[in-house]
Copies of this chain bind each other. A is one copy, B any other.
Amino acid sequence: MNDTSAFIIKLAVDSWHLTVQRFNTLLESLNDETLLREIAPDRNRGIYLLGHLAAVHDRMLTLLNFSERMYPHLDEPFLDKADDKTADYPGIAELKSQWHEVNKALSSHFNQLSTDEWLQKHSAVSTEDFAKEPHRNRLNVLHSRTNHLSYHYGQLRLLKSSDNG
């Protein structure tokens, strides 16, 4: 463990934060009416992607052994089920607030982790498996979730009318 390792990890954490920031800039440019639209015919609506991402990021709190979940009730509508266009979803303002709160909590934990701690196992792998597969660590979850966010960011971008995203 040395400064080089910490510097390299910071590049990944910065990439996470940049992706969250870009997503938030896009989110703020879309009004509630637009977020209730489908990203493409018969596909997920903006509100579903927002709730889905809030749920997935909330699950990171336990997956990374940081804390209890903040909003476990998001799983049922936004992870277990597909976008139900007749369902009574939480309001967009509420979902946005939860999205921002969970990312704030994650960032606060990220900023406190040492290199050793980043390389510790996540909660979905057993100690035995982790001994054989040491890449199943917190940092790997960070990479995976950054890509997951970029994936849905590319989709949400389709709701913006002024560019060809």
Q: Which of A1-25 contact B (CB under 8 A)?
A: 1-2, 4-5, 7-12, 14-15, 19
Interface majority SS on A: helix, strand, loop or mixed?
helix
Q: Which of B2, B41, B146 contacts A147 (CB 8 A)?
A: B146
Q: How many Å lie between the Cα of A44 and that of B155 in the bound state?
A: 12
Number of copies: 2
Judge if A124 is at the interface, Cβ distance under 8 Å.
no
Q: How large is the interface on A (under 10, 10 to 19, 20 to 34, 35 or more residues)?
A: 35 or more
Judge if A135 is at the interface, Cβ distance under 8 Å.
yes
Judge if A39 is at the interface, Cβ distance under 8 Å.
yes
Judge if A164 is at the interface, Cβ distance under 8 Å.
yes
Are the C-beta atoms of A154 and B165 separated by less than 8 Å? no
**A11 surroundings in chain B (CB, below 8 A):** 12, 135, 137, 139-140, 143
Q: Which of A35-94 contact B (CB under 8 A)?
A: 39-41, 43-44, 82-83
Q: Which of A124-152 contact B (CB under 8 A)?
A: 134-135, 137, 139-140, 143-144, 146-148, 150-152
Judge if A123 is at the interface, Cβ distance under 8 Å.
no
Judge if A99 is at the interface, Cβ distance under 8 Å.
no
